[in-house]
Each structure stands twice: as structure tokens, then as C-alpha cells.
A and B are shown apart, each in its own frame.
Chain A
């Protein structure tokens, strides 16, 4: 396979992977209104658990890590997703129950920094700053894949997983559960006054979003074969935010567009370009600035994103099923403020 196609399939993988990550953050932020600035921490945990659970025991590998169970794909990926969800329960119980909006965001970003420092410095956990490497390529031995053929293969696998997760997410966001999430996003006080246990729904949203983060992280570690702390600096969370803000908060199609525009074309594509002579790394810096400016421009001029959240209209089939006299406003009942008139007597309330 030529270098060109290698790059193309790498970009395709990145697009699908960030689509999954964006769906996870979108259900938390776009649908439920939880400003999760620790999102990248959940991605990292999913990546580490997926990688460490698929590696053999650490003794003799030159690395230090927990687990080392040699769990095959896709079970290691599921484990990564579940581990991230477990972390979400902890984070939700600690932070979500009592804090809202800005305060919650501050606590979550602090949490992300603490998790980063622990992982970076406590080597026995996930090999410290060196991170995990030699993570097995999933199904490579089953399909006798080479390093070259693994890239397109796994891009397709990531695409299939993204498709399944898109279907599942659409089921959730189009259900009464998704509607309740959006009600909480719009006004959690009103949702509570309607009998919705806001914390329970926020916890559910965090669990779902964290699972997506964990799976997205798990795919990353298996695609690259390695993962270390430089891959998930807390600022990376804002890249995923950029994906959903540019694409369209609350719209799954918009997330795919955002993933293509921001992560694939603006961040990863330039990484394959040759350096400007005499200015190594300059392209990446320009790249970061362009993403920042794009985010700024979008928030200023088109905060709803490229593909805005759609209005969920009454199903036509339902309206057609109604009798014709039911498709118009009813006659309006009225009291009368004029003395001696109608409804006042019916109510029987005159003093």
C-alpha cells in the first residue's frame, strides 16, 4: 500500500474515532448540559485499560502496568469503556450531586489534572510518562495482517463500531430519555419540578458519555499500538469541544462533520505535511491557532454549528391518525370578569 493510502486510512480512522469521542461528549454537554472539562481523562482511562488488559503480564516486557490479562479484542475494548463508566460514577457522586455549571467545570478540570499527574508520576499504574507500548494489533493474527494492511483494516473496524455506536446514540437521543436530558440541559429546576430526579439522569448521561470516551480511547491505543501521557494533556478536552461546537451541538450528523473538519482536516492532515524549511514544528503551531480562531469565529457567528440541532417535529403519521376535528385548537373556555356572566356561576365561587 502506498504512503498516500496509508495516510488516507489513518485520517479515516481518526475521523471515526473522534466521531465516537464527540458523541460521548455531546450527550454530556450538548444533550444534558454537563460541562465536562475532564473528558479527556475518561478517554485516557479507556485507552489504558484497553491496552493494559490486552497486553501480557508486565514481567519481562520492560514496562510496568496493572492487569496484563491478554484479553482479546473486542472484550478489552468493552472493558475500557466500562472502566471509564465506572470512573464516571465516582466523578458524578463526588462532583455532580452538589455542583452546577461553572463550579462543576472547575472541579472537573482539576480532577483531570490530578488524574494526569497520578498517571504521569506513579509508574506501576500505566508505566508513568513512558506509557504503554507494543499493544497488540487487534485481530492481526486472525487475518494475518501486516503493519501496512492493518491500517485500512482497523479504519474499517472503527467505522463499523462508530456506525453501531451512532445507531445506539440515535436511539437514546430520540427517546424520552434523550428528551429528559435536553429538559435538564435547558432548565434543571423545571425538570426537577416535573418530578425528574436530575442527578439520576445526569449520572446516566455521564455513564453513557464516559463509555463512548473509553471506547474511543481504546480504539486509539490499539490503532497506534502505544499511549502515553503526552497524548492526553488536559487541553485535549477542548479539541473534542471544538469538534462538537464546530459540527453542531446536539446533532449527531454535525458531530461527524465536526470530526472531519476539525480533527481530521485541521489537526491530523497538516501533521503529515513536510516541515517548513528552517521552522520545524511551525505547521503544528499554526494548526493550533487555526483551530482556536475557528472556534472563536463559530461561537461568534454561528454558535449552533455547521449542522444545528434539529427541531423534532410531531410525527406526521401520528397527525394523520388523528380525527380531522382533532387537528385544530379546541373552543377556549373562559371565565368572565364582567359581573353576572357565565362561568363564574358554574364555578360556584361567588361570595
Chain B
């Protein structure tokens, strides 16, 4: 991605927001999944997207990342209107994502999973492969060194030469985040990064996410674990029945009767009386 692309003057996009959407709607064969998602994801912060099952959280993430087209509504990455852009074009603006069910590139090694991520690699061009092999090789070396550094950070260095399909569920979650980090994201969408992982790994993943924030990455994460949301998220968006119900800090949302009734309810009560 170039900074020039992201600065392209366009309509929409709130100031200070790394990612915004307005009135996103999506139906599947007449069944409304998203009925009006409108929110801003503040730049440089960790935002949680929470809501009951079936609220449309993953559909919204799929639309924001370009993997699904919305029926109506608009969205922006920075100030660039990216409504219904193809996912690879959105990714080139610096928006990366992970998936609810890990989607590792199973036939590739762990290291190769990371090496795929950098955009516009010289070695991806036939011209460079045959006529400028030195350039491609130098870039590949630099990318490999960086990938190894990231693998060390994420505790996957020893597994670098294993096929990604051989990893455990938790390791695959880590690999997905590491792969997204390798692509140098500006905005990172994490779809339930803590789902199905053990408590120790939840802590590690939380640490990595906080670390990314320190590096200036904006994070939007779908998360059901309110303990995690409370500890690491600066901002919370509540989605219910496909529309944005409320946004704010979790402490503020606890006092919102609509939010409590739609989602938090007993969960909040339980955690506050603990």
C-alpha cells in the first residue's frame, strides 16, 4: 500500500476513524443478517465488536474486508470510500483480517504462510524472476528475516518448517495473527481471536494485540469474552439483530438498559458481582 492511495480525497469517513461504515445492510435469501450497521473504529485503538450470536458480527467483518458485498450502505478505510471493493484491493490499503475458524494455508509451511503476506513482491513477477533475479532474491531474504523475527515473537519459530495444516487450533490462531502482522497492517480485523483457545493462550494473544496497538495498528475484534474486552479494548460497539445498538466504553454500556437486555445482561452482572 502507498500512503498516496490512502490520502486519495473521497467522500465519507469520519475524522480520526481508521475504519467507518454507514447503514450497512445484507440479506441472505430474504433473511436479514445486517440491517443497519453504522460505526467508526477510532484510529490507533482497540475496538471490540460484541453482540449475541446471530447479531451479524462476522457478516459485518466479511463486508468490511471485502469478502462479501453489502446490499446497501457505505464504508471507508481512512478517508477512502471502499464500498463493495474487492477484498484484495481493500487489503492493499492496509486492512488485514483473521477468520473465526482459522484458515491457514495448509499446504504451505508456517514460514511460507508469512512470506506470502507482503504485498507487491518483486519475485511475484515473471520479468523479475528471469531478468532481475538479484532484486527478487534480496527482497526475499529481507522478508524471510522479518518473518523469522515475527515467528520468534509469536512463539512459532520452532514450527517454521512444519506444514500449517499440522498445527494445533491455538497455533493456527497465532499463525493467522502473525501472517496478518507480516503484511504490515494499518487496520486489523480479528474475528474471535480467543475462541476455542486455552486461558494461557488467551493471555498471550491479548498481549500481542496490546503490542500491536503500541505499534500504531488499529484493531477491531469480534469477541465474546467480556473479561478480555474489559482488559484490552478502548472502545466497544454493540451489534444486535444486525444493527448498531450502542457504542462507547464498556463501563458506559453496562449502564445502558438496551445493551444489557440485548446482550450483556447476566454476563455483566455476574462479572461485576464477582
Please report which residues of chain A, range 214-270, place their CB below 8 angstroms from some CB of chain B when the two chains form the complex. 250
- Contacting residue for A313 out of B66, B109, B124, B209, CB 8 A: B109
- Bound CA span A322–B142, Å: 12
- Contacting residue for B105 out of A190, A201, A349, CB 8 A: A190
| Interface contact B119-A349, CB-CB below 8 Å | no
Q: Which 3 A-B pairs have the closest CB atoms?
A: A176-B123, A335-B206, A195-B91
Q: What's the interface size class on B, roughly?
A: 35 or more
- Bound CA span A318–B111, Å: 13
- Contacting residue for A194 out of B109, B125, B152, B179, CB 8 A: B179
Number of residue pairs spanning A and B whose beta carbons lie under 8 angstroms apart: 176
Q: A183-B116, A333-B207, A335-B231 are in contact. Are A190 and B103 (CB under 8 A)?
A: yes
- Contacting residue for A171 out of B66, B92, B130, B209, CB 8 A: B130
**Residues of A close to B249: CB separation below 8 A:** 351
**Residues of B close to A171: CB separation below 8 A:** 129-130, 133
- Bound CA span A111–B100, Å: 38
- Bound CA span A197–B243, Å: 31
**Residues of A close to B156: CB separation below 8 A:** 329
Interface of B is mostly: helix
Q: Mark A166-194, 1 if CB is under 8 A from B, else 0.
A: 00100110011101101101110111111
- Bound CA span A315–B66, Å: 35
The CB with the most chain B CB atoms within 10 A, among A175, A180, A318, A328, is that of A175
- Bound CA span A335–B145, Å: 27
Q: A186-B106, A192-B91, A330-B152 are in contact. Are A175 and B232 (CB under 8 A)?
A: no
A-B contact pairs, 18 of them (CB 8 A): A176-B116, A177-B123, A179-B112, A180-B124, A190-B99, A193-B65, A193-B67, A193-B88, A194-B96, A195-B1, A195-B91, A195-B183, A198-B88, A201-B124, A204-B126, A329-B155, A334-B206, A349-B234
- Bound CA span A191–B228, Å: 29
Which residues of B approach A to under 8 Å, CB–CB? Answer: 1, 46, 65-67, 86-88, 91-92, 96-97, 99, 103, 105-109, 111-112, 115-117, 119, 121-126, 129-130, 133, 136, 140-141, 144-145, 148-149, 151-153, 155-158, 160-161, 163, 179, 183, 199, 202-204, 206-211, 213-214, 227-228, 230-234, 249-251
